[in-house]
Structure 1
Amino acid sequence: MDPKFIKRHPESETFIIKKFSFFENEVNLPGNAVVGMGCDFWGDLVVKGNLVLGKGSKVKGDVIAEKATIGADCDIKGNIKVVGNLTLLDRTKVGGLAYAGGNMIIRPMVSARAAECTGDINVTGRTDIKSIQSGRKLVVRTG
């Protein structure tokens, strides 16, 4: 990891990644992470805490975190696996499985091979997800 792209906030154990940063290798962060818009990860992104992935960011590998909010227009080539809640914002693309150990929120125009969670899934608008499995209930809102 290049320290010029990452700042650390020690009190909250949060790593802040500058917008338009890029990383050639897998990134492992031992706390929370806030990723600026337009960042490029050429490998996996593994966060031991909560993740906020900025708008238009790209991950060529998998995303693993405790909880995650994936910003609008993000492109994840691999899978997303979170222990808690997962939010996929507008026009996010997931090449593989989006899995949440808690609840999941899916916004309009999200595409994925599959979405699974142990809690509730709330879908808003039109999506392109081949398979959806919810542990409790599935709520779909159109319009």
Structure 2
Amino acid sequence: MAKSEDRGGGASEGSGSGLRSAASLLFTVALLAATGAALYNVYGVSVEVEALASEAACQGQAQPCKAQFTFWERSPIAHTFTMQTPSGAHPVTCQRAYILFGAYTCKSKDGTATAEPSPSASASAATSAKAPAKAVPAKAKAP
């Protein structure tokens, strides 16, 4: 007689295999979601974050203040910029509230300047990213 193999850790056949499959699927979905969020943090949200970084670099300076990017580094956890303003170079770090999710907050490393998004910031960033309307030349009237 052939012995049946016990591959379930001593448990009877079928007990817990559905639970293990569900846990494995849930873990896989969570890892894929975290990977997608990390990729989006690096490649997807530049307009909003750059505006917040400029605002943080210009806080406390005479208006109008135009900040220019001289260095930037993006990672899934934070975006680090060096902004050149009329008063000099300002390092700024922007991070999400909950590592991979939440609103961005930018802080100047050389002071206490902080920039947070206004409720309409995401709406204005979305409209500014749209392509401009095409102008149609007016037809000239015949004399």
Q: Same fold (TM over 0.5)?
A: no
Structure with larger RCO (C-alpha < 8 A, sep 6+):
2
Give the structure-2-normalised TM-score.
0.18
Q: Which has the higher helix share?
A: 2
Q: TM-score normalized by structure 1?
A: 0.18
Bigger CA radius of gyration: 2
More strand by proportion, 1 or 2? 1
